[in-house]
Chain A
Amino acid sequence: MSALDILLVILRIAFGAFVPLSFVAVLVWMERRGAAFFQDRAGPNRCNVLGFRAGGLIQNAADGIKLAFKEDIVPGHVKHKFYFILAPMLVFITALLCFAVIPFADVLILGDKHYIMQAIPMDIGILWFLAVVGFGVYGIILAGWSSHNKYGVLGGLRAAAQVISYEIPMGLALVSLLAVYGTVNLTEMAQFQGRLLFGFIPMWGFVLQPLGVIIFIVAAFAETNRTPFDLAEGESEIVAGYHVEYSSMKFALFFMGEYVAMFVSSALIVTLYFGSYQIPWFTTETLVTYARPVVIAIMIGLPVIGYFFAEWMKRNNRSHYYRENDPRQKETAVYVALLWSLVAILEVVLLVYLVFAHGGVADRILVALLQIGTFLFKTFLMCFVYVWVRWTLPRFRYDQLQKIGWEKLLPLALLNIFITSAIIVSFG
C-alpha cells in the first residue's frame, strides 16, 4: 500500500463517519427552524455567542452542552443494565454503519489506480444496507424491553411490528429496482443513472421506477420512525415510547441516531432513485473533459449566488422591532464580510487551478469534489422533505399503519415487480 492508498482510506472513512455526524447538527437546526417556518413561528433565535447566533445554530451547541452535563441516570428498577446501556449504542452505530456503503462520488481514477468512493468499498452495497438497517430496530426493541416500563415496551413492540411490515414492501420495491439496474453494487447503480433515456432524460431511478420510488420512500419513512409513522415514540399516546426512561447522553444518542438514520435513508433514496452524485446531463467523463469551462462557469456563478445570499441575509437578519444601533444588523455585516471572503478564497483557489494545475489528476479531484457537493446537496433536499412531511402530516393510527403496509404497499410492490419484469423481458 502506498502512502496515497492509506491517505484515501483515511479520507473515505473520515467522510463516512464525520459527515453524518456533522449533518446531525444541521438537521436538528433544519428541523427546528423548518418546523417554525412551516407553522409561521420564528424558531430558536436567541442563543448566541458574543451576539452571533448563526441563524439559530448556536442553539444546537447549547442543547448539546446541556445534555452532556446532565446527570446520567440508570433507573433503579432496570434489571438488565447491560442491555439498557447497549440499546442506544446499537441504534446509533447501526445508523452510522449504513452510510458506509453509500458512494458519494464516482470512482476516483488517480494515475492507474481506481478508488471506489465509499467508506467501505464493498460489492454487496444494498444488501449491507438492508442487513444493517434491520439491526437498528433491535436497539429500539431492546431499549423498550430493558426499560421495564409499559410505555417503553409498547413503543418497542410498535417499532418491531412496524419495521417487519414495512421492510417487505421496501425489499420488494428494491427487487424491481435491482432488476432494472442489474446489480446490487451501489457505485454501479450510480454510474447507471448517469446515462440518458431517449437521449435527453437523465436515467434516474424515479424515471424508470415511478411506483417503486413512492413505495420505497413511504417504507423508508416508516423504517426511520419518522412522522407520519412515529408510533414508536407517539408522545401523545405513550409519552416517549422506547426512550421514556433514558436521560442525558443516552437520550442524546437516541436523538442523534434518529437524525443519522434520517440522513442515511435520505442518502440511500438519493443514491437509488435520484441519480446519486450525478449532475444531470454531465457524466463524470464529460466533466473531466470540459473541466475548464465548468470551472469558469462556477467562477462566474459563485459571486452571483453570494450576492443573492447576502441580500437575503440583510433582509432577514435584522430586528423586526425598533432597536437603537440594531446589533443584528452588525452581526449581518460580519456574516456578509465572511461570505464575501469565502467567495474570494474559492475564486482564488479556482484561478490557481485554472492557471497552474489544470489537467490530469487535478481535474479528477475537482470533479470528485463537485460530485460530493452534488450528492450532499441532493441529500440535504431529501432531508428537507423528511422535515416537510413531519410538519405537515399527522400520525397514522396503528391499524391504519398496518393496513397501508400490508393491504396497499405490498400488493403495489408486487404489481410493480410484474410490470417491471414484463417490460424488461419484452424490451430489455
Chain B
Amino acid sequence: MSIKVRTVERKGRTFLEQLYLVEVIKGMTVTLGHFFRNLLDNSRLYVRHYPEVKPEITARWRGRHRLTRHEDGSVKCVACFMCQTNCPSNCIMIEAGERFDGKSEKMPTRFDIDLLECIYCGYCVEACPMDAIRMDTGIYSVTSYSRESMVLGLEDLLETPGAFAEEEYKKGGG
C-alpha cells in the first residue's frame, strides 16, 4: 500500500449538532459580534472607501502601458516589432520610420495600443529588448466614454510617467 490513506473525521453527527439550534446560535453570536463592532464604531470596517482612498499598487503590478525614453529624451523604442509579434491579443500596431539621431536605424512613427483588446498579460514588456515598453504607470482603472479614446497613440504612451523609482521597478522583477 503505497497510497497514503487519510481518514477524515466526520463532523456534525453528535446529538447536539444534529439539533441544529445550538450550532445556529453559535454562528449567530459570531455574526452579531461583527455587527455590533461595526455599528458602534464604523471606522473598524474592513473596507477601503474606494474612489477617495486608492489601493497601494506594487511595482510588479501590470498597469497601463507607457513608452520610455533615453536620458537625453530620445525614444528608446527601435521599432523591432517584438512586442507586436508577441502580443496574444494583437492590440499593438507599430509603423516604423527611419531614425537620424544615431541611436539606431529605426524608430516608430506610429505606436498604437488598443486598450480594449489588451489583456494586460505583460508579454510585450518581457519581449522588449530595449526596455522601451513598460507597464509601470500604476494606472489600474482604464475607463473612457468612447471606443476611439481607448486607442493610445505614440504621444500618449510617451507622456505618461512611471509611478515607481527605477530601483524599485528593477527590484520588482520587471
Contacts and interface: CB of A to CB of B under 8 A. Distances in A.
Interface of A: 34, 36-42, 214, 312, 315-316, 319-321, 323, 388-389, 391-393, 404
Given A321-B53, A323-B52, A388 B35 contact: yes
B41 A316 contact: yes
Contacts, number: 54
Interface residues of B, number: 22
Given A40-B46, A42-B49, A321-B49, A393 B35 contact: no
B31 A38 contact: yes
Interface stretch (B21-29, B79-87, B152-160): B21-29
B31 A391 contact: yes
A388 B45 contact: no
A319 B34 contact: no
Interface string B67-88: 0000000000000000000000
Given A388-B28, A391-B31, A40 B45 contact: yes
B15 to A, nearest CB: 13
Which one of A37, A41, A391, A404 has the greatest number of beta carbons of chain B within 10 Å?
Answer: A37
Contact of B45 (A42, A315, A391, A393): A42
Contacts of A388: 28, 31-32, 35
A39 B52 CA distance: 21
Interface string B134-162: 00000000000000000000000000000
Closest CB pairs A-B (n = 9): A37-B38, A40-B46, A392-B31, A316-B42, A37-B35, A38-B31, A320-B43, A321-B53, A392-B28
Contacts of B42: 37, 42, 316, 320
B36 to A, nearest CB: 8
A383 to B, nearest CB: 14
Which one of A42, A312, A315, A404 has the greatest number of beta carbons of chain B within 10 Å?
Answer: A42
Given A42-B45, A315-B41, A323-B52, 16 more contacts: A37-B35, A37-B42, A38-B31, A40-B38, A42-B42, A42-B49, A316-B42, A319-B49, A320-B42, A320-B43, A320-B45, A321-B49, A388-B35, A392-B24, A392-B30, A393-B28
Contacts of A320: 42-43, 45, 49
A321 B52 contact: yes
B39 interface: yes
Contacts of B41: 315-316
A394 to B, nearest CB: 10
Name B's interface SS: helix
B5 interface: no
B3 interface: no
Given A315-B41, A316-B41, A323-B52, A40 B31 contact: no
Contacts of B32: 388
Given A214-B21, A321-B52, A321-B53, A41 B31 contact: no
A209 B3 CA distance: 56
A41 B47 contact: yes
A46 to B, nearest CB: 9
Nearest to A315: B41
B31 to A, nearest CB: 4
A393 B24 contact: yes
Contacts of B34: 37-40
B39 A37 contact: yes
A392 B49 contact: no
Contacts of B53: 321
Nearest to A321: B53
Given A39-B34, A214-B21, A388-B32, A393 B47 contact: no
B53 to A, nearest CB: 5
Nearest to B29: A392
Which one of B21, B35, B40, B45 has the greatest number of beta carbons of chain A within 10 Å?
Answer: B35
13 contacts: A37-B35, A38-B31, A38-B34, A41-B47, A42-B47, A312-B40, A316-B42, A320-B49, A321-B49, A388-B28, A388-B32, A389-B28, A392-B24
Contacts of A315: 41
Contacts of A319: 49, 52
Nearest to B48: A321
Contacts of B45: 40-42, 320
Nearest to A323: B52
A130 to B, nearest CB: 25
Nearest to A408: B20
A36 B35 CA distance: 8
Nearest to A404: B20
A30 B148 CA distance: 44
Nearest to B28: A392
A393 B23 CA distance: 10
Nearest to A228: B24
